[in-house]
Amino acid sequence: MANKMIGKSFEGILIIRKHLRITGLLLIGALFVLTACSSGSQEPGSTASPTSSSTGVNSPSEVDALYTKGHASATDKRWADAITEFDQVIALEPGRTLAYYYRGRAYLGLEQPNEAISDLNKSLELDSSLDQAYYYRGRANLDLNQPIEALADLTKALELDPSLSQAYYYRGRANLDLNQPAEAVNDLTTALEMDSSLGQANYYRGRAHGDLNQDTEALADYTTALQLNSELSAANYYRGRIYRSLGQLDKALADFTNAIKLDPAFSQAYYYRGRVYRDTEDFPNALADFTNALEVDSGLTLAHYYRGRVYRSLDQLPEAAADFTKALELDDTLALAYYYRGRVLRSQDQLTEAVADFSIALQLDNGLDVAYYYRARAYESLNQPSSAITDYQSVLATSTTDQLTGLAKTQLAGLGVSTP
């Protein structure tokens, strides 16, 4: 293990030379060469050879003193100090493996993952058995959104030392980022078996369970994560989403509200709370939440779409049309945005434009039965009965909704077309 250290010391060597006898007296000269390294421990691959320096720090013991100081700074998480001290060690002794390792950790502590990776690479060049170097490089890769590289590093760390619970935790996160939820659940479960206090592991396992549609297990994990850390806003958010999908809207509302209290800039929490308000037809609060979400992140396509639907429910048609248009600028494959904008345009007697929107919606989703129905209504208003008849018949062919098929039959009868 990289945490196990190998002591290194050099004993003094006494060299005694006998010289010539002069006038019957024995003259003995003694030459002592003493080389001492630090009495503290070191990890595999480190060296402490004497290095000359114009600064006067030129003995191994003095280099070791700098190293020990840097190690203490790193242990105390005084990252900037540690970097300065290991800079000096490396300048004097470029082959000092653990100086690169600890400086890499310090850079990671300062959220400088690129610099951390550079130093950890060097430490592994000098000693490829440093399991902790693989572990920290894996974490740095994860910070850089490089889950493939992170997965490889964390797997190597675990090959060298299977007792690294945090390596299982971070590998679980890498698997989650790679859309491998089953593998993520396995790793995060192992991490929790080794250390049940890893509240973040419960949170990420909850997300993995959610991706696997295992709602019961996900709810249990989010709840445990919040018991360990009540300020984990993301756990409130994801638990709220599950409660909403299960129709438990009061619980969902409470969780989204807590998430927003903890993080007032949590755009997705505003968005989903807006969805809950809309589900309960509380349109003013829904409108406020969708607006708050868009103030934080104007690129939330679905926030524009659902705010457009709320505006339409409030009969604020120009605002609704503007939101549907913005949603389509962000995602021109959103069939329902074309459909609802078509509904708004039809209400404003912009019939040709409405037909165009219904047609695009049907190109994107030819099973959208309501688009056939309302395009047919627009065709009727445009005095194009044959096109209207074709669309009403499409409703009968595609719809499984009795109410919609009943409406289509009524319209067909009005056009003189009998139906079964």
**What are the tens digits of pLDDT across the range 243-258?**
999 999 999 999 999 9
Closest Cα partner for 286 from 299, 296, 276, 301?
276
d(CA 39, CA 42): 9
Indicate whether this model's pTM tops 0.85.
Answer: no
* C-alpha to C-alpha distances, 245 to 162, 238, 242, 252, nearest whole angstrom: 38, 11, 5, 9
- Give residue 240's identity as a one-letter amino acid code: G
Contact between residue 301 and residue 311 where contact means Cβ atoms under 8 Å apart: no
d(CA 237, CA 56): 58
Stretch 288-313: mean pLDDT: 98
Closest Cα partner for 345 from 367, 312, 372?
312
Tokens of 364: 């994107």
d(CA 125, CA 382): 76
Contact between residue 298 and residue 330 where contact means Cβ atoms under 8 Å apart: no
**What are the tens digits of pLDDT across the range 43-89?**
433 333 333 333 444 567 889 999 999 999 999 999 999 999 999 99
**Residues above pLDDT 70, as percent of the chain:** 86
Stretch 363-385: mean pLDDT: 97
3-state secondary structure the chain: CCCCCCCCCCCCEEEEEEEEEECCEEEEEEEEECCCCCCCCCCCCCCCCCCCCCCCCCCHHHHHHHHHHHHHHHHCCCHHHHHHHHHHHHHHCCCCHHHHHHHHHHHHHCCCHHHHHHHHHHHHHHCCCCHHHHHHHHHHHHHCCCHHHHHHHHHHHHHHCCCCHHHHHHHHHHHHHCCCHHHHHHHHHHHHHHCCCCHHHHHHHHHHHHHCCCHHHHHHHHHHHHHHCCCCHHHHHHHHHHHHHCCCHHHHHHHHHHHHHHCCCCHHHHHHHHHHHHHCCCHHHHHHHHHHHHHHCCCCHHHHHHHHHHHHHCCCHHHHHHHHHHHHHHCCCCHHHHHHHHHHHHHCCCHHHHHHHHHHHHHHCCCCHHHHHHHHHHHHHCCCHHHHHHHHHHHHHHCCCHHHHHHHHHHHHHCCCCCC
Closest Cα partner for 116 from 94, 91, 142?
142
Contact between residue 291 and residue 283 where contact means Cβ atoms under 8 Å apart: no
Domains (range + CATH), the chain = 233-331 (1.25.40.10), 346-420 (1.25.40.10)
Cβ–Cβ contacts within 10 Å for residue 147, how many? 21
Contact between residue 180 and residue 212 where contact means Cβ atoms under 8 Å apart: no
Give yes or no for residue 25 having a pLDDT over 70.
no
**What are the tens digits of pLDDT across the range 214-246?**
999 999 999 999 999 999 999 999 999 999 999
Mean pLDDT, the chain, rounded, equals 88
**What are the tens digits of pLDDT across the range 380-412?**
999 999 999 999 999 999 999 999 999 999 999
**What are the tens digits of pLDDT across the range 182-212?**
999 999 999 999 999 887 999 999 999 999 9
More confident residue, 26 or 175: 175
Tokens of 38: 């630090």
The set of residues, in sequence order, having a beta carbon less than 8 Å from that of 225 and lying 6+ positions away, is: 199, 200, 202, 203, 206, 232, 235
**Residues above pLDDT 90, as percent of the chain:** 84
d(CA 82, CA 89): 10
Stretch 312-329: mean pLDDT: 98
* C-alpha to C-alpha distances, 176 to 144, 182, 210, nearest whole angstrom: 15, 9, 11
Contact between residue 270 and residue 289 where contact means Cβ atoms under 8 Å apart: yes
Contact between residue 18 and residue 28 where contact means Cβ atoms under 8 Å apart: yes
The set of residues, in sequence order, having a beta carbon less than 8 Å from that of 359 and lying 6+ positions away, is: 375
3-state secondary structure 242-256: HHHHCCCHHHHHHHH
d(CA 238, CA 325): 29
- Give residue 188's identity as a one-letter amino acid code: L
